[in-house]
Chains A and B, each alone.
Chain A
Amino acid sequence: MLRLVLKQTMAHRGRLLLTFAAITLGVTFVVGTLVLTDTSRKVFDDQFRDASTEVDIVIRDAVAFDAAMGVEVERDPLDPQLAARTATLPGIDQAIPVVKGTGLLISDDKAIVPAGPSMLSSWTGVDGFTLREGHAPGGADQVVIDAATATAHDITLGDTVRVQADREADLRVVGLVGFGESDGLPDTTVALTSLRTAQRLLRLGDGISQIDVIAADGTATSSVAEDLRADLGADVDVAASQDTAAASAAAAKSQLGFITGALLALAGAALVIGAFLIANTFSVLVTQRTRELAVMRAAGATGRQVMTSILGEATVLGIAGAIAGTGTGLLAATGLRSLLDAAGATVPDGPTVLSARTLIVALAVGIGVTLIAAFGAARRAARISPVMAMREGALGTTGGRGRLRSGVGVAFTAAGVAALSVGGATESMPALGAGTAALVAGMVALAPMVAPAVVNLIGRGMIALTGRSVPAGLAREAARRAPRRTGATVMALALSLALVVFVSVVGASVRAALQSGFDEAITAELVVESARGEMLGGLEPTTLKKVEDLDEVGTVSPLRFGHWKDSGATRALTAFDPTTIDDVTDVDMVEGNLTDLRDGVVITERQAAERGLNVGDTLAMTFARTGTLKVPVVGLIDDDDARALSTDYLVSLASYRDWFTERVDATLLVRPSSGTSVHDAQVALEDALEGMPTVEVRDQASAAEARTASLDGILTMITAVLMLTVLIAMLGITNTLALSIIERTRELGLLRAVGMTRRQLRTMIRTESLLIAVAGLLVGTTIGVATSALFVRAIAQGGDLHLRVPTTGLALVAAVGLVVGVVGGLAPARRAARLEVLTAIRE
């Protein structure tokens, strides 16, 4: 049996080529994602593990939670006496005070801005960094940097680099370090100084960030930790260093989790689109082999055996695709990394990790998708009766199942539309999600009925437009004749284009809302922001001082962002300066006002409604620094204006200082002093901030733009990736046409014999391709616009978010659809035209 299956598969390998390609592409995507994220995970694991191997216990200020949104929270400095005291306790070999923070490296007046953090830390000698050259930093003017950065920026021992933290200093490079095996940390610059220097640069006084403890030989870490906890009290956090390493790695990796999720979702889409292609191929193969299978049945094979043999072929194909896809997936990981990089989501690179899990997933996905897609055809093959061997062209018809199918299709589509309208009306995301799923399932079931009808209509339109032409008419007929095949091909393209449309419409709507909200609520003419990602900190406090000192500046009002926990869920808040906020914003308050805010929290009207809160009630907010507080609600703000300030929760800067350790400003909203033009003020700001390369001064318009920059990056990346699914859908068209040409060889021969020219034949096949593509385009755009419109309504929840159907986006989709139609038909058309008339007739 196995030999027969292998032989069959090999015999049809030409016909299976594109199917193989589709499986390979899908698996490539899955493997690429897994390899990418596994590699990055390993980098984080290694990094934090290496950093903790020599240290047994870490003592830090206690916090209520370690990390939020993938960023570790900052902790208050510790009393430096604590280190000395710890060192004297029994069972302790060393207690090393450590200072950690952020310090930008500037070499030759050029800032070195890595994709990841700019690390500034005191030298400990036990944190995983090992000297490659030179010596440890001793004097106040010395620094050690990582060898990777040194190589990349031509920095050698003896050179001077500027380290810019809360203060800045020019330091001499006295050593280069590596980290474990590698020359540094991925996407990171490392600056190591003496404890004093780090404290000075970070303006910590004599405070320290943590104490690295090495237990005496022969003592158990856990018992030492117990003793320390008992001795030092609950204000500090005593943790085994491997636990803190694991927690740090987990925090770093949680960002990867989002990326993995998003990429796997896109891979899933690619696989679903590919499944249509696979299903089509097997359906065609079974049809073309009806007679052969009937002979097998006549020779005594059971229906079950026939089915098994078809599924066997699917398995062979799935395995082949999985193996090839694993190979290409390793390459794709690199491509995905660059794509993420371009989208502003950098993930660290390291030695490629191909885990057993990835291999198993690849096989499971390859085989699973192929089997599921081939199942319908296999079942149909099992129903082929031996007498069909004797009948000419007797191909199984499916009247009964067709009716069942359309019944199911209508039911699903109706349920989907109903759920979508309910979801749209009640703004319920789950209803919309379920509705979309049901609608897609219904459309897929109805595709054999809907798609040919659409194709027919388009064909008519085309004929009306171009005049009656046999090739066009025949193309239309051909597309109608195999409704399932046409339906699946159309739906594959429709779904992939619907995704592109969806992303484009939702993206454009959210983008417009973000920008318009900003325009309306922010009255400041100028905005000072960090050019780096939000996760990588913001503006050091010196920035505000420099801005305040300028004569050209009338008002400057800082905003800070922070995370808090809301019974488990992480939320963002914005802190502002009540004394200046009115000068730089124009927000509508439903109750209370921002200028009076001292201790409480202002929440949006919507949050108030959802939580059943009113002014005077309290909201339980958990901050890392303070634990859970009952914060009084002192005002309600309009939803859209709050969005302009990036939040649903507003607190005063005074409260922020109490509740957070973080000291960086996210944004400075600036108004020029009276008599100073915006332009002059901007020039003055730029001059004053010249030495701070990561700080940007923006006018209102570009600030509004900048707010959508990361969204734009992500949308572009998603769209680029979705193009892969469109590509698979295009392969689907090529595949369907190529297979149908084989099936129609005699017909084509006859046409050629009675006078169809090669050119006409080519036109016919290309028209067929175009018809399918345009049908896919219409159906896809309809589904995409409809679902995205309802989604936008649901996200808007009565707010300021309006549906934006981007004409350029849709024009792009239309262009892509047409290109797919034209390109998809090229190869089959060429192949059909090459057919020898006689061979075709004689067959």
Chain B
Amino acid sequence: MTNLLNDTPGTADTHAVAAPTKPVAVRARGLVKSYGTGPAAVQALDGADLDIHTGTFTAIMGPSGSGKSTLMHALAGLDVLDAGQVLIGDTDLTDLGERQRTLLRRDRFGFVFQSFNLLPALTAQENITLPLDLAGRRPDPEWMARLVDTLGLGQRLQHRPSELSGGQQQRVAVARALVTRPEIVFADEPTGNLDTRHGQALLRFLRDACDDLGQTIVMVTHDPLAAAHADRVVLLTDGRVIEEIADPTASAIADRMLQLDTEADDRPHTAASSTDTLQEG
């Protein structure tokens, strides 16, 4: 189970390549999103900027409530923004209508959520091919076989989600996210409900997908151990990207997070005040 996507050797090199040299898959500029009105309004995104490079694995981190999920939803065309631009190639996501965004998600993105990733009525196989079925396309049998094999789901394809363990369910979700060979896979706390062993295994799949297939991955997490699998960590506070850590290690992330939390405790809870103090590496 450790030798994943094993027909592409030499994975270590890819890992070392610096992200910025690659073309940009998603360019986000000045994202603003607020919930509610008046004094009760919450500024979930407050001018966030971000580039996601093709073939990289990006982790979005930040304190709880800092806007991680909102940012990911905005990038993935799941949410509508108040202001800002999300460019996927030449297309500005914010210009697209509901139907076009849906088709974009179906054909060009893959999703892994923290929980409830699978439709209980469908078998594992049907869950995996769902986006293709929705598009009326047939799965590429070779690709399908490879995914199933790599994720160790061969014996489980005819099972329903209720007959699968949590780890297996998340692997099915990953298979579904990859089955369309999407441009980007978005994952929101994909290991949040898994124990460490299963969580780590899942993260290694994602890592390998990135390394071996050049899969672009954006993952929201608050777990430094998880984020350490990424090429780059983007830190979010009060709806803004305040800093990036390239080639992160778990301990470096954990230190930085701790620091952020302390600062957050020390300053008044306004979204604007934080940014200037935080431009260190």
Contact assessment for B117 and A750 in the assembled complex, using a CB-CB cutoff below 8 Å: yes
Q: Given contacts A758-B98, A760-B134, A841-B113, are A753 and B78 in contact (CB under 8 A)?
A: yes
Cα distance, A468 to B136, chains bound together (Å): 8
Does A477 interact with chain B (Cβ within 8 Å)? yes
Chain B residues whose CB sits within 8 angstroms of the CB of A756 once the complex forms:
102, 106, 134
Q: Is B119 an interface residue (CB 8 A)?
A: yes
**Contact between B119 and A755, CB atoms less than 8 A apart:** no
Is the Cβ of A758 less than 8 Å from the Cβ of B120? Answer: no
With an 8 A cutoff between CB atoms, is A464 at the interface? no
In the bound complex, residues from chain A placing their C-beta under 8 Å from that of B78 are 753, 837-838, 841
**Chain A residues within 8 Å of B107, by CB:** 755
Residues of B close to A747: CB separation below 8 A: 116, 119-120
Of the candidates B122, B133, B134, the one whose C-beta lies within 8 Å of that of A477 is B122
The size of the chain A interface, using a CB distance under 8 A, is 25
Rounded to whole angstroms, the CA-CA distance of A757 and B131 in the bound complex is 11
Whether A838 contacts B79 by the Cβ 8 Å rule is yes
Q: How far is the CA of A321 from the CA of B126 in the complex (A)?
A: 44
Would you call A752 an interface residue if the criterion is a C-beta within 8 Å of the partner chain's C-beta atoms?
yes
Q: Is A621 an interface residue (CB 8 A)?
A: no
* Nearest CB in chain A: distance from B68 CB, A: 13
Asked if A169 lies at the interface with its beta carbon under 8 angstroms from chain B, I say no
Output the residue of B133, B135, B136 with the most chain A CB within 10 A. B133
Q: Is A68 an interface residue (CB 8 A)?
A: no
Determine the residue in chain B with the shortest Cβ distance to A843: B116
Are B135 and A755 in touch, CB under 8 angstroms? yes
- Knowing A477-B122, A837-B78, the reply to whether A755 touches B117 (Cβ < 8 A) is no
The chain B residue with its CB closest to the CB of A752 is B102
> Any chain A CB within 8 A of the CB of B230?
no
Bound together, the chains give a CA A469 to CA B132 distance in angstroms of 11
Given A470-B133, A746-B116, A758-B98: A477 and B121 within 8 A (CB)? yes
Q: In angstroms, how far is the closest chain A Cβ from the Cβ of B18?
A: 32
Selected from B111, B116, B121, B136, the residue in CB contact (under 8 A) with A478 is B121
Q: Is the CB of A754 within 8 A of B131?
A: yes
Q: Does A140 contact B (CB under 8 A)?
A: no
Cβ B116 vs Cβ A755 within 8 A: no
For window 94-119 of B, CB contacts with A under 8 Å fall at 98-99, 102-103, 105-107, 111, 113, 116-119
Interface residues of A in 740-787 (CB under 8 A from B): 746-747, 750-760
Residue total for B at the interface (Cβ-Cβ under 8 A)? 27
Chain B, interface SS category: helix
Residue contact A757 to B119, C-beta cutoff 8 Å: no
Interchain CB contact under 8 A, A755 and B106? yes
**Hey, what's the 0/1 contact readout for A460-488 against B, CB within 8 Å counting as 1?**
00000000111001100110110000000
Chain B residues, CB < 8 A from A751? 119, 130, 134
Shortest A765–chain B CB gap in Å is 14
Contact of A750 with B119 at beta-carbon distance under 8 Å, contacts A470-B130, A755-B107, A756-B134 already known: yes
A754-B176 CB under 8 A given contacts A470-B133, A477-B122, A838-B73: yes
Chain B proximity of A20: nearest CB distance (Å): 30
CA distance A754 to B110 in the complex (A): 7
Q: Assess the B111–A753 pair: CB atoms within 8 A.
A: yes
Pick from B79, B118, B121, B131: contact of A474, CB under 8 Å? B121
Q: Which of A807-843 contact B (CB under 8 A)?
A: 837-838, 841
Interface centre among A746, A747, A756, A760 (most CB of B within 10 A): A756
CA distance A760 to B118 in the complex (A): 18
Q: In the complex, what's the smallest C-beta–C-beta distance from B245 to chain A, in angstroms? A: 28
Which A residues lie within 8 Å of B122 (CB)?
474, 477
Q: Nearest chain A CB to B173's CB is how many angstroms away?
A: 10
Residues of A within 8 Å of B79, CB to CB, are: 838
Given contacts A754-B106, A757-B102, contact A481 B135 (CB under 8 A): no
Inter-chain contacts of B126 with A (CB < 8 A): 473
Question: How far does the Cβ of A757 sit from chain B's closest Cβ, in whole Å?
Answer: 5
Interface core residue of A747, A754, A758, A841 (most chain B CB under 10 Å): A754
- Which residues on B sit within 8 Å (CB–CB) of A469? 136
* Chain B positions within 8 Å of A470 at CB level: 130, 133-134
What is the CA–CA distance of A478 and B122 in the complex, to the nearest angstrom?
10
Are B121's CB and A750's CB within 8 A? no
- Residue ID in chain A nearest B135 by CB atoms: A755
A830 to chain B, nearest CB (A): 15
Contact check: which of A474, A480, A754, A758 meets B111 at CB < 8 Å?
A: A754
Question: Is the CB–CB distance between B99 and A757 below 8 Å?
Answer: yes
A473 to B125 Cα, complex, angstroms: 14
Closest A residue to B119 by beta carbon equals: A747
| CB neighbours of A750 from chain B (8 A) | 113, 116-119
- In the bound complex, CA of A759 to CA of B97 (Å): 14
Report A-chain residues with C-beta under 8 Å of the C-beta of B118.
Answer: 750
User: What is the CB-to-nearest-CB distance from B44 to chain A, in angstroms, rounded to a whole number?
Assistant: 11
- Residues of A near B73 (CB, < 8 A) are 838
A293 and B119 alpha carbons, distance in the complex (Å): 25
B116: which A residues are within 8 A, CB to CB? 746-747, 750
Interface core residue of B107, B119, B120 (most chain A CB under 10 Å) = B119
Determine the chain A residues whose CB is within 8 A of the CB of B119 once the complex forms.
Answer: 474, 747, 750-751
A755 touches B113 (CB 8 A): no
Q: Is the CB of B121 within 8 A of A755?
A: no
How far, in angstroms, from A757 to B101 measured CA to CA in the complex? 9
- Closest residue of chain A to B99, judged by CB? A757
B20 smallest CB distance to A (angstroms): 30
**Distance (Å) between the CB of B81 and the closest chain A CB?**
12
CA distance A481 to B121 in the complex (A): 7
The complex places the Cα of A470 from the Cα of B137 at a distance, in Å, of 11
User: Using Cβ atoms and an 8 Å threshold, which residues of chain B touch A759?
Assistant: 99
User: Quick check: A754 and B134 within 8 Å, CB to CB?
Assistant: yes
Q: Closest approach, in angstroms, between the C-beta of A670 and any C-beta of chain B? A: 72
B residues 3-18 touching A (CB-CB < 8 Å): none
A 720-757 contacts with B by CB, 8 A: 746-747, 750-757
A755 pairs with B105, CB closer than 8 A: yes
Asked if residues A755 and B103 are in contact (CB atoms below 8 Å), the reply is yes
- Residues from chain A with a CB closer than 8 A to the CB of B98 are 758
Q: How far apart are A478's CB and chain B's nearest CB, in angstroms? A: 6
Closest Cβ neighbor of B118 among chain A residues? A750
B278 smallest CB distance to A (angstroms): 28
For A474, list chain B residues within 8 Å (CB): 119, 121-122
Q: Once the chains are docked, how many angstroms separate the CA of A759 from the CA of B113?
A: 24
Q: How far is the CB of A317 from chain B (nearest CB, A)?
A: 30
CA distance A480 to B121 in the complex (A): 9
In the complex, what distance in Å separates the CA atom of A503 from the CA atom of B116?
A: 49
Q: Which of B105, B133, B135, B136 contacts A753 (CB 8 A)?
A: B105
| B130: min CB distance to chain A, Å | 6
Interchain nearest-CB distance for B198 vs A (Å)? 17
Q: CA separation between A757 and B133, bound complex, in Å? A: 12
A470 vs B106: C-alpha distance in the bound complex, in angstroms? 13
Residues A758 and B131 in contact in the complex (CB < 8 Å), given A747-B120, A750-B116, A750-B117: no
A483 to chain B, nearest CB (A): 12
CA–CA, A3 and B113, complex, Å: 40
Min distance, Cβ B212 to any Cβ of chain A, angstroms: 23
Are B120 and A481 within 8 A (Cβ)? Answer: yes
**Given A477, A746, A754, A838, which contacts B130 in the complex, CB threshold below 8 Å?**
A754
- Chain A proximity of B175: nearest CB distance (Å): 12
Least Cβ–Cβ distance between B172 and chain A, in angstroms:
12
Q: Which residues of B are found within 8 Å of A760, using beta-carbon distances?
A: 134
| Cα–Cα distance between A759 and B121 once the two chains are bound (Å) | 21
Taking CB atoms and an 8 Å cut-off, the chain A residues in 549-587 that contact chain B are none
B 63-84 contacts with A by CB, 8 A:
73, 78-79
Using Cβ atoms and an 8 Å threshold, which residues of chain A touch B120? 481, 747
Report 9 cross-chain contacts, Cβ distance below 8 Å, ordered by A residue: A469-B136, A473-B126, A477-B122, A481-B120, A747-B116, A753-B78, A754-B134, A755-B131, A756-B102
Q: What are the 9 tightest A-B residue pairs by CB atom distance, in nearest-first order?
A: A755-B106, A477-B121, A470-B133, A757-B102, A755-B131, A755-B134, A755-B105, A746-B116, A754-B131
- With A473-B133, A750-B116, A755-B135 given, can you name 5 additional A-B contacts, CB distance below 8 Å? A750-B119, A753-B78, A757-B103, A758-B99, A838-B79
